[in-house]
Amino acid sequence: MSKRKDKRQAGALYESVTRMAAPGHADTPIADDILAASPELARVLASSPHQPRELRKMKKFRFQLLHQWLLTQLEPCRVADVGGGKGLLTYLLRQSGWPATVIDPIQQALPTKYKDLATNRQTHLAVIETVPHINQGFDSSMAQDFDLLVALHAHGCNIQLIDAAAQFNRRFIILPCCIIHEPIYPPIGVHWLQCVVDYATRTGFTVEPFRLNFRGQNIGLYGIQR
Ligand SMILES: C[S@@+](CC[C@H](N)C(=O)[O-])C[C@H]1O[C@@H](n2cnc3c(N)ncnc32)[C@H](O)[C@@H]1O
């Protein structure tokens, strides 16, 4: 069996098992009707009306799109790119003058190229390019050294990151994907994204949701302490 088919089948099996175990605990991309029913998340629909699917960018562009969002919405600040993987978001932020650092227990090399969405051209990175990287799992005390904690699809880190932001009065941006390794679980019928919003609100944050133009889990939550 090909690797790709193997991966697809494993993914389908995982989804069906989670559905059977806990129907209603969906952590698949959130549908617009669920967004519309949420007092907090409905704002996403007003600020970024649904676009035809074919206009949505591929998931692999999420780093460039989040980088652009950060540049247009916030002032430069010290960013912890928690669960940053290969570090492309950190690389782009640093290119823009933001002091960003990856925090990820798995050290990976930067990608060798990425698409610059502004020029629509491939940009190549020199093999020697690196970004600052804390080669450990995220620990709450690390939040002290940053202004903004970012978790892009960093499953298992979302709740911990909200707690750390609360403890050290920091802001956060999270784009939750799935529930794996998180310490809390949504009540029956509540989407994981809503569960994260509720948790952050209970923890003392005002949550501003936003949506990026890529396919998949593209809703971001910007948390600022009340
Ligand atoms: C699904 S990947 C997402 C990577 C990247 N942000 C992206 O969007 O492609 C999750 C990442 O979280 C990292 N990770 C897992 N546990 C972590 C922890 N406790 N603290 C920080 N990162 C962690 C993994 O090594 C992995 O790189």
Residue 58's CATH number: 3.40.50.150
Residue 203 lies in a domain: yes
Q: Are strands 171-175 and 219-225 parallel, antiparallel or unpaired?
A: antiparallel
Closest atom, ligand 1, to C-alpha of 103: 21
Closest residue to atom 16 of ligand 1, CA basis? 137
Closest residue to atom 18 of ligand 1, CA basis? 137
Closest atom, ligand 1, to C-alpha of 160: 19
Residue 35 lies in a domain: yes
Q: How many domains does the chain have?
A: 1
Residue 149 lies in a domain: yes
pLDDT of residue 23: 44
From first to last of the 226 residues of the chain, give the pLDDT tens digit: 566 667 566 555 655 665 555 544 456 788 888 999 999 999 988 877 666 555 688 999 999 999 999 999 999 999 999 999 999 999 999 999 999 999 999 999 999 999 999 999 999 999 999 999 999 999 999 999 999 999 999 999 999 999 999 999 999 999 999 999 999 999 988 999 999 999 999 999 999 999 999 989 999 999 999 9
pLDDT of residue 29: 83
Residue 9 lies in a domain: no
pLDDT of residue 54: 57
Closest atom, ligand 1, to C-alpha of 175: 8
Ligand 1 pocket at CB < 6 A: 62, 82-85, 103-106, 137-138, 152-157
Closest residue to atom 27 of ligand 1, CA basis? 85
φ/ψ region of 211 (left if φ > 0, alpha if ψ in -120 to 50, else beta) reads beta
User: Ligand 1 centroid vs 173 CA: distance in angstroms?
Assistant: 15
User: Ligand 1 centroid vs 163 CA: distance in angstroms?
Assistant: 17
- Which of 134, 157, 160 for a ligand 1 pocket mutation test, highest count of atoms within 8 Å of Cβ? 157
Owning domain of residue 90: 26-225
Closest residue to atom 17 of ligand 1, CA basis? 137
Closest residue to atom 14 of ligand 1, CA basis? 83
Residue 190 lies in a domain: yes
Residue 125 lies in a domain: yes
Q: Are strands 171-175 and 148-152 parallel, antiparallel or unpaired?
A: parallel
pLDDT of residue 51: 62
Closest residue to atom 15 of ligand 1, CA basis? 83
pLDDT of residue 18: 58
pLDDT of residue 4: 63
Residue 17 lies in a domain: no
Residue 13 lies in a domain: no
E strand residue ranges, the chain: 79-82, 100-103, 113-116, 121-124, 133-134, 148-152, 171-175, 205-211, 219-225
Write the burial class of residue 29 (CB in 10 Å: 0-12 exposed, 13-18 middle, 19+ buried). Answer: middle
The sign one gets for the Cα dihedral 76, 218, 152, 130 is negative
pLDDT of residue 24: 41
Please tell me whether residue 75 adopts helix, strand or coil conformation. coil
Q: Which of 187, 178, 211, 199 is nearest to 28 (CA)?
A: 178
User: Ligand 1 centroid vs 37 CA: distance in angstroms?
Assistant: 30
pTM over 0.85: yes
User: Ligand 1 centroid vs 110 CA: distance in angstroms?
Assistant: 14
Closest atom, ligand 1, to C-alpha of 85: 27
Question: Terminus-to-terminus CA distance in the chain, angstroms?
Answer: 53
